[in-house]
């Protein structure tokens, strides 16, 4: 699941891969990558465990399932952890599966019929036979249970974490990043992609009303595709080690998503000392608690009012930064890895071949 532009599911897989071996020296770990291998710019996220290239990528028509079966039969693992919805439907070994959300089923209009069919023919039946099922929020647990016809109690909620590199910036750090990236002295940050549920189109409508420009990180051409004004600054890509700088130098992160299984950018921004204005739907209220300004995702006047209030009220800003730092302290990758390892051990204890 790690390929192309970094996303939350890829980070989840990489964070586990680099932490689990140190927590369990008695176990052997191996990573199954996409056929092209891992991206070369992962930096500290590059796993040190042995890696094996899969014969086919996920959702490869007619290839993924039989070749994934061949890979797993050759490797003969005591346990396979599918870190996203690409499940081995033809392999009957010990399976731990992390399903991050149900958006392919809840929002079928945003995806091709292949995705919906995949969930129905592969994910749903194999999830029912999995040794353990994990998800990242109570919201996702309820959604997955509903759409996969499972009891919510089949899922254990283990939240992702925030890397320690996400810290508030000094003035000089923020100034250096802004100058090096040729960004406006003050800006509002937005991240995501052009998919409808990310709802970045709302920010495109909002941008002309705002006193500060939006710096958009949503892939090449997203600003034009979504109709952002010329005042918008588009960043096509940023190295992972610059993401804390991107958040920390911003006046606020605007996150108008209609559907999020978790919402890791909100926590990463909080960790970097950046106030968050987010939608009041899906998992975002659960994740942010009282540490963010929450607004209905399609209420344009409410978004405009929230941004202006934050920009004008220094006391509100300081309060959100403080609450955000406290909130994010509850989410660590170390805790995520330890709890995931406990699931592995519980599953392995049930296997006569466990070691």
Residue ranges and CATH numbers for the domains of the chain are 8-161+333-349 (3.40.50.2000), 171-328 (3.40.50.2000)
- Tens digits of per-residue pLDDT, 232-272? 999 988 988 899 999 999 999 999 999 999 999 999 999 99
Whole-angstrom distance, CA of residue 40 vs CA of residue 318 = 38
Q: Quote the pLDDT of residue 237.
A: 86
Q: Which residues contact 35 (CB under 8 A, 6 or more apart)?
A: 53, 54, 55, 56, 57
Q: Which two tokens stand for residue 4?
A: 């192309």
Q: Quote the pLDDT of residue 109.
A: 84
Q: Quote the pLDDT of residue 354.
A: 42
Q: Quote the pLDDT of residue 239.
A: 86
Is the CB of residue 240 less than 8 Å from the CB of residue 6?
Answer: yes
Q: Tell me the pLDDT of the chain (355 aa) as tens digits.
A: 888 767 788 999 999 999 999 999 999 999 999 999 998 888 888 999 999 999 998 888 789 999 999 999 999 999 999 999 999 999 999 999 999 999 888 988 888 888 888 988 999 999 999 999 999 999 999 999 999 999 999 999 999 999 999 999 999 999 999 999 999 999 999 999 999 999 999 999 999 999 999 999 998 999 999 999 999 999 988 988 899 999 999 999 999 999 999 999 999 999 999 999 999 999 999 999 999 999 999 999 999 999 999 999 999 999 999 999 999 999 999 999 999 999 999 999 985 544 4
Q: Quote the pLDDT of residue 114.
A: 85
Q: Quote the pLDDT of residue 352.
A: 54
Q: Quote the pLDDT of residue 154.
A: 97
**Which residue from 242, 294, 293, 295 is spatially nearest to 272, judged by alpha carbons?**
242
Strand order in the sheet with 132-135: 80-82, 95-98, 132-135, 155-157
In this structure, the strands spanning 214-217 and 31-33 are: unpaired
- Tens digits of per-residue pLDDT, 155-174? 999 999 999 999 999 999 99
Q: Quote the pLDDT of residue 62.
A: 82
Distances (CA, A) of 15 to 10, 19, 81, 347: 9, 6, 14, 21
pTM of the model: 0.92
Q: Quote the pLDDT of residue 353.
A: 47
């Amino acid at each position: 699941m790690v390929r192309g532009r970094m996303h939350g599911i890829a980070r989840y897989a990489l964070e586990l891969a680099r932490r689990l071996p140190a927590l369990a020296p008695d176990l052997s770990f191996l990573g199954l990558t996409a056929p092209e291998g891992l991206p070369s710019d992962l930096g500290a996220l590059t796993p040190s465990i042995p890696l094996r290239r899969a014969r086919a990528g996920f959702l490869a028509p007619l290839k993924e399932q039989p070749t994934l079966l061949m890979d797993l039969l050759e490797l003969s693992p005591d346990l396979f952890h599918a870190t996203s919805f690409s499940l081995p439907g033809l392999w009957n070994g010990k399976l731990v599966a992390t399903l991050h959300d149900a958006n392919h089923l809840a929002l079928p209009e945003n995806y091709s019929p292949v995705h919906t069919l995949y969930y129905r023919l592969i994910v749903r039946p194999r999830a029912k036979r999995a040794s353990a099922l994990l998800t990242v929020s109570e919201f996702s647990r309820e959604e997955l249970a509903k759409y996969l016809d499972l009891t919510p109690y089949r899922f254990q909620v283990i939240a992702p974490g925030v890397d320690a590199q996400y810290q508030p910036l000094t003035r000089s750090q923020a100034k250096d990043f802004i100058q090096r990236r040729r960004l406006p002295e003050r800006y509002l940050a937005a991240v995501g992609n052009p998919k409808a549920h990310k709802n970045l189109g709302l920010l495109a409508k909002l941008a002309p009303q705002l006193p500060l420009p939006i710096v958009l990180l949503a892939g090449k051409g997203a600003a034009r595709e979504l109709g952002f004004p010329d005042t918008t600054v588009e960043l096509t890509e940023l190295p992972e080690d610059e993401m804390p700088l991107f958040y920390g130098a911003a006046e606020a992160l605007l996150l108008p998503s209609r559907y999020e299984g978790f919402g890791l950018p909100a926590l990463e921004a909080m960790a970097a000392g950046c106030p968050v204005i987010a939608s009041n739907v899906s998992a975002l209220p659960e994740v942010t608690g009282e540490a963010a300004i929450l607004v209905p995702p399609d209420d344009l006047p409410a978004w405009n009012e929230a941004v202006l209030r934050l920009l004008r009220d220094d006391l509100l800003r300081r309060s959100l930064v403080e609450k955000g730092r406290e909130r994010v302290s509850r989410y660590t990758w170390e805790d995520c890895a330890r709890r995931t390892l406990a699931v592995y051990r519980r599953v392995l204890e049930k296997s006569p071949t466990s070691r």
